[in-house]
Chain A
Amino acid sequence: MQSMKERIERLLLKVQKPARYIGGEVGSVVKDKSKVDVRFAFCFPDTYDVGMSHLGMKILYGLKNQRENWWCERCFMPEVDFAALLRENDIPLYALESLDPLSEFDFVGFTLQYELSYNNVLEMLDLAGIPVLAKQRGDDMPIVVGGGPCVCNPEPMTDFFDLFIIGEGEEVNIELLELYENMKRQGCTKLEFLKQAVKISGVYVPQFYDVTYNDDGTVSTITPNIEQAPAKVTKRVIADFDNVYYPDAFVVPFTQIVHDRAVVEVLRGCIRGCRFCQAGFIYRPFREKNIDTIKNETKCLCEQTGYEEVSLSSLSTSDHTRINDLLSSLVDYTDGEKINLALPSLRVDTFSDELLEKIASVRKSGLTFAPEAGTQRLRDVINKNLTEEEILRTCRTAFEGGYATVKLYFMLGLPDETLDDVAGIAQLAQKVVDLYFEVPKEKRGKGLQVSISTATFVPKPFTPFEFEPQDTPEQILEKQAHLLRNVTSKKIKVSTHMQKNSILEAVLARGDRRLGKVIYTAWKKGCYLDGWDEHFKFDKWMQAFDECGIDTKFYANRRRSYDEVAPWSHLDYLVSHEFFVRENKKAHAAQTTRNCKQGCSGCGIKKEYGGVYCGAKHNAQAVDSAN
């Protein structure tokens, strides 16, 4: 009998980038399984290249492996070439450290990062020989758990999971595994375990809730069917963010991955409140790490990984209260070690010359702005507090400094958007072009290129736009055409997002339990790796909706009333429903809302969750002078 390793190795030279499938990377944790009590397979439902870039996995992998008798391993979605060979050769999907099949684990955990990765969960379970439907999995099968931003509305995926973890995972994962370790020793059943697990705050077990529907198809009630289950599951928040666990080691892949660098998380949450942005609300409140903590973590990871680049991770790095001190302190270290410091998510309105000089990366890659909307009125609707003047001012400095490439990101289909707003996108880009030609030739760089990239707006749960209809494909096509008509300069390049993806995202993001059937049907028809254009099969998806008698328009294109019971209304992300209603009304009146730093707007998050700006009375000036 050949070992798993031998069986896998026989296939490796037949596939693309085989180093993704055999493990052995620096930083990967290998334990003696005879000395391990709890085994957890952390699965990322997309390919290795994408999944290995995910910070959450690195954190939870390190966290669980700190315990000597727990072993957390990694697993990714194989590419189609390798998946086909696995099936042909009867090799079940396995974890990369032990090469053991997923079915041998106590837990199989998936992180749900984006809707189009949902079907990979089914495909991965099936490749591993684990029944995809939770109700078909007996006590001999692993407990399938889910986490990540998409579980703020996990309802479309409830058929396939035993348990969801709502909110931040650092504490609740430990509590859950400790409970399991104890109960496993006592020989409890899966059901007994789940009944105890629901008592842990942040744990949601979908089978313990019943959903009823109204005649018009909307949700009527969501009620617990066992007494242990709380009526509302509240998300977990790490209040003491500065002291939260952070890994001192990363798994360093052999093959190039999407974000191939060390990453240090500097802050969590966002003060901005852009109304379309789910991350801006579900990760509240805004908490940050001390400069020393960040510096130590940076140093530690750079030394362990040997990466030549480190990046700071956050929703908006420049909102760190001591950003200038932080950067000068980090640059001292990274320059000395000849490590490149990458700073994504710098906002244009804090883009100071002083800051730029410090990080003066000599690579003139270009500037990227996300104005999101073409006119000031529409930017006020979405509460993107970024003015045209700010954009143009920064572009001018950049052009004078020799930059010649500008990327502008927009969304089409925002609430209350008119064709004038769409034309405004072209006008803004044209102003950037004109500005370039105003800058003296000897100063500006050569070969101006302004790229406009438009995505289609997808309304998301737990945002002020959760009530909004998504534009129909016809409306979006009209807007795309209108944009192209209004672009006259050859210096402006327009690219548009694949509309069909956005429809599916909109349906899944705000769907209910009835969509489980559609997901299952679509998967049976061969839909997975949907995030990859070359694998996305929209027609198969539409057939699945037809066969299940479900109309995508009901989920995507319908305006929802403020008092409608949302499919996710039994989950509490701490930001209040009243706040979202208030923000929605202000959006339609094109009124902006101040950010947390300028003053509290009463989103509902309480002080005890550790938010920097929560609960305290303050004004913008006091905070500014403290910097």
Chain B
Amino acid sequence: MAQNITPKLSTLQIEKFDYRAVYAKYGRARYISHLDFMRSMQRIIKRSRLPVWHTQGFNPHVYIMFPLALPLGTDSRVEIMDFALTEKLSNEQVREQLGEKCPEGIEIISVSQPVHKHTEIKYAEYDIKFKPSIPAQECLDKWNGFMSLEKIEIEKRTKKKTVNLVDIKPHITVISAQTQGEQVALQMRLPAGNDFNLNTNVVLDAFFERYGIEFETICTLRTKIALENGESFT
């Protein structure tokens, strides 16, 4: 038994056509963690019955890549997933076939061929809305004060389990900040990608903690994944 081990895919699939999907994740799907989401996407692809390209190892599985994780609780309409097919199909057909198999809260916006490399991702932009425990205008004033601080230091745990102080101020670019009724609405750009990632929660927690503000449900929407020069990643 088990002596004549050969990979299950004895015929190598040499033809490989790369595709990049832009998808949305919102509503009920907001609560799926990144790791779980990757598994869900793999099943969507399997259900779509597209001629998907499998990895060529001993345990062939659907080849699928996510250049950037979306934090649990954040909505987005600009998320990226790369995968490959063994046949050349039209982008529209691929989008349609995948889209049909998506559960509530997951949508395939478009399918195209990859242009940029994953390592070119440098920033992401976010819309954030929340209702603070204090009047919105007062909260906005505090936010503006927060942003005019010279340094915003947060504690970051290292692998050696010691705590480092990191200044996140230089990494935050506020695009706009205003009130909308009882809510505060912020737009900001934060570093993203392989080198350095800054989560919106980290920024907001630092803010809320410093001013002792509480809030009801934060809505966070990622609006753009961008390159160094500010252009959209495609």
List residues of chain A with CB under 8 Å of any chain B CB. Answer: 9-10, 12-13, 17-19, 21-26, 252, 254-256, 260, 303-308, 335, 338, 340, 353, 356-357, 360, 362-364, 397-398, 400-403
Contacts and interface: CB of A to CB of B under 8 A. Distances in A.
Given A13-B73, A254-B36, A308-B46, A22 B31 contact: yes
A360 B2 contact: yes
Interchain residue pairs A-B with the least CB separation, the first 6 = A306-B43, A24-B28, A306-B46, A306-B47, A401-B2, A18-B31
20 contacts: A9-B217, A18-B31, A19-B31, A19-B32, A24-B104, A26-B101, A252-B43, A254-B29, A254-B31, A303-B47, A306-B45, A306-B47, A308-B42, A308-B61, A338-B9, A338-B54, A340-B59, A356-B2, A364-B2, A398-B2
B121 to A, nearest CB: 25
Contacts of A255: 32-33, 36
B58 A18 contact: no
A599 B167 CA distance: 78
A304 B47 contact: yes
Contacts of B135: none
B1 A401 contact: yes
A305 B48 CA distance: 10
B31 A306 contact: no
B43 A307 contact: yes
B36 A256 contact: yes
A10 B30 CA distance: 12
A563 B75 CA distance: 66
B36 to A, nearest CB: 5
Contacts of A356: 1-2
B230 interface: no
Interface of B: 1-5, 7-9, 27-29, 31-33, 35-37, 39-40, 42-47, 49, 54, 58-62, 72-73, 101, 103-105, 216-217
Contacts of A9: 217
Most buried by B among A13, A21, A397: A13
Nearest to B10: A335
A308 B9 CA distance: 15
Given A306-B45, A360-B2, A18 B72 contact: yes
A283 to B, nearest CB: 31
B10 to A, nearest CB: 10
A25 B103 contact: yes
B48 to A, nearest CB: 8
B141 to A, nearest CB: 26
A343 to B, nearest CB: 14
B191 to A, nearest CB: 23
A254 B46 contact: no
B60 A13 contact: no
A465 B159 CA distance: 54
Contact of A19 (B5, B7, B36, B45): B36
B8 to A, nearest CB: 6
A360 B5 contact: yes
Contacts of B59: 340, 362-363
Nearest to A353: B1
A306 B8 contact: no
B190 to A, nearest CB: 19
Nearest to A260: B39
Contacts of B72: 13, 18
A24 B1 contact: no
B118 to A, nearest CB: 24
Contact of A303 (B49, B54, B60, B216): B49
B50 to A, nearest CB: 11
Contacts of A252: 40, 43
A431 B80 CA distance: 55
A23 B42 contact: no
Nearest to A11: B217
A212 to B, nearest CB: 53
A306 B64 CA distance: 14
A81 to B, nearest CB: 14
Contact of A362 (B5, B29, B36): B5
Nearest to A254: B32
B128 to A, nearest CB: 14
Contacts of B8: 335, 338, 362
Contacts of B31: 12-13, 18-19, 21-22, 254
Given A255-B36, A362-B59, 14 more contacts: A19-B32, A25-B103, A254-B36, A306-B47, A308-B61, A338-B8, A360-B1, A360-B2, A360-B4, A363-B59, A397-B1, A398-B1, A398-B2, A401-B2
